[in-house]
Structures are given as C-alpha cells and as structure tokens.
Structure 1
Amino acid sequence: MCANVVRLARQQGARRVVVAVGASHGQVLSELLRATPGVKVVSFNELT
C-alpha cells in the first residue's frame, strides 16, 4: 500500500497527498511513509 501511494504520487507529480486508512493500518503506514526518502508525514491533528 505504501509503495503504491508513493509511486502514484510521484508519477503524477503530486506535492500533497491525503491518505485515509482504517485505524489498524494507520500506524504502520505512517511509519513506512516516514521512512521513505522525500516523504513528509503530517497527521490530521497537526494541521492548522
């Protein structure tokens, strides 16, 4: 799932992507995305 999100975002030249997942996937996906070079993860609670 993580690889697909990153691949598709990069293919389309996206600067921002919103990813909504269920609670059981959220923590794992967040950790995987944070470990991906060039990806910044901002949680919903951090948005202002």
Structure 2
Amino acid sequence: MSTAKLLLHCPDTPGILADVTNFFTVNKGNIIYLDQYVDHVENIFLCGSSGS
C-alpha cells in the first residue's frame, strides 16, 4: 500500500479543507490522519494529512 503526506501552509480562506479532502477523493485515496490549525493573528491556515 502506498502512502502520501500533505503539508499545507497558506492564507486562510473558505473551502481549503474541502479542497484537501477532494484532492484525496479525486485521486482515489483514503485519509488516515488530518490535523489543522489556523493562526488568526497572521490569517494563516496550516494542515497536515496522510493517506493511502
């Protein structure tokens, strides 16, 4: 089984998490782990996920 890790750091905007999960779905993947954090002071979205 192949696995992939995705680390994301970008400005916080609506729909980012939907795009991340859609990426796995379109590529026939399965999300095993996903964590997210928003720095409201800097308006930065951080996300780490892994899947197969």
TM-score band, normalised by shorter chain: 0.3 to 0.5
Greater share of helix residues, 1 or 2? 1
CA radius of gyration, larger in: 2
Greater share of strand residues, 1 or 2? 2
Normalised by the size of structure 1, how large is the TM-score? 0.32
Normalised by the size of structure 2, how large is the TM-score? 0.31
